[in-house]
């Protein structure tokens, strides 16, 4: 190829984008229309195994999330990298210090799936309190009468929410609409909110019928729901996690449920997902969904729009809307 033709081909080459996470079809289609999209759907390890299949030296943008993140070692192998976008709110495993040092912009998409996650959390509360899972299994097994005992209702009960960001507030609004008393625990009180603030998580757990985690992940919240908190929640209490798997100490949770120290749990996230401990699978008082609380067609479209906007802004030299680095 002549030098002129080579430069023409380079000018026509579309920017290379690397996705470290599985993406909805609507997102893949939109990215593929504008960029040369490379998928590493099992995370950074797959990039290492792919060899020349992923041209790391030409990657200008990366799609990831808080769980998968993007570490400094892989980031440094992308000399052309300009933007990393978290597909959602979480970005705790993206190395922000390395990104800042290299001038890489890191963005996220707050507000895109809040209502969907809040809906999912409320669904857990209803399903756990009323025993939908165990009752359905019993009916399918032909056992109609044995489990027709009275079950708790949401109205008049107390929910304690860990975290009062957009998702926490969405959960609180839904719970209040069901006639629940809402408590919340955060580092600082939110004076503008009409809910009861509790600075001490252990104390809040002792006052709750339902304890819901809707806080960020990371070192600051790792295992904050532990044996002591679960014991305070008590044998009539339920725990729900729509935050990060690291927030709950899995061993403590399994022990609490096996010994009747709490009534049950609803988990959309796990510490070692997608691996599910056998001890959790064997319990009929736990509901598990595969980290999809934030997934709805509307949420995925909103996340896609935010992702495309962040890439377009950074690659055009503009500051994107939601910068976290």
Rounded-to-integer distance, Cα 14 and Cα 267, Å = 41
Separation between Cα atoms, residue 304 and residue 312, nearest integer Å:
12
Q: Which residue has the tokens 């006052």?
A: 207
Neighbour-count burial of 247, counting CB atoms closer than 10 A to its CB (0-12 exposed, 13-18 middle, 19+ buried): buried
Task: Give Cα 277 distance to the centre of its chain.
Answer: 19
Say how far apart CA 152 and CA 126 lie, in whole Å: 9
- Number of separate helices (H) and strands (E) present in the chain: 13, 12
Q: In what order do the strands lie in the sheet with 196-197?
A: 196-197, 181-185, 158-162, 210-213, 238-241, 264-267, 286-288
| Whole-number Å distance between alpha carbons of 243 and 63 | 20
Q: Catalytic amino acids?
A: 244, 273, 291
What one-character DSSP code corresponds to residue 67? T
Preceding peptide of 274 cis, ω within 30°: yes
Strands (E), 117-271: 158-162, 181-185, 196-197, 210-213, 238-241, 264-267
Helix, strand or coil, per DSSP, at residue 172: helix
């Amino acid at each position: 190829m002549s030098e002129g033709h080579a430069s023409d081909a380079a000018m026509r080459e579309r920017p290379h984008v690397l996705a470290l996470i599985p993406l909805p079809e609507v997102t893949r289609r939109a990215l593929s229309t504008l960029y040369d999209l490379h998928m590493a759907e099992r995370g950074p390890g797959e990039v290492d195994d792919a060899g020349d299949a992923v041209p790391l030296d030409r990657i200008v943008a990366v799609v990831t999330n808080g769980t998968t993140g993007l570490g400094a070692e892989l980031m440094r192998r992308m000399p052309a990298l300009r933007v990393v976008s978290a597909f959602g709110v979480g970005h705790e495993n993206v190395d922000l210090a390395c990104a800042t040092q290299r001038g890489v912009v890191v963005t996220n998409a707050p507000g895109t799936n809040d209502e969907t996650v809040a809906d999912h959390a409320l669904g857990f509360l209803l399903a756990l309190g009323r025993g939908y899972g165990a009752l359905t299994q019993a009916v399918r097994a032909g056992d109609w009468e044995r489990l027709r005992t009275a079950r708790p209702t949401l109205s008049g009960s107390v929910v304690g929410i860990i975290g009062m960001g957009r998702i926490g507030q969405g959960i609180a609004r839904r719970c209040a609409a069901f006639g629940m008393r809402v408590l919340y625990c955060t580092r600082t009180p939110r004076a503008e909110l009409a809910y009861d603030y509790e600075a001490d998580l252990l104390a809040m757990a002792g006052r709750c019928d339902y304890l819901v985690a809707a806080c960020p992940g990371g070192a600051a919240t790792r295992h904050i729901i532990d044996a002591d908190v679960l014991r305070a929640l008590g044998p009539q209490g339920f725990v729900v996690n729509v935050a990060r798997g690291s927030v709950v100490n899995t061993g403590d949770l399994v022990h609490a449920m096996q010994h009747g120290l709490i009534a049950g749990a609803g988990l959309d996230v796990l510490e070692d997902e997608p691996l599910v401990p056998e001890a959790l699978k064997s319990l009929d008082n736990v509901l598990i969904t595969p980290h999809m609380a934030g997934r709805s067609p509307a949420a995925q479209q909103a996340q896609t729009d935010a992702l495309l906007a962040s890439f377009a802004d950074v690659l055009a030299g503009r500051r994107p809307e939601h910068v976290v680095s």
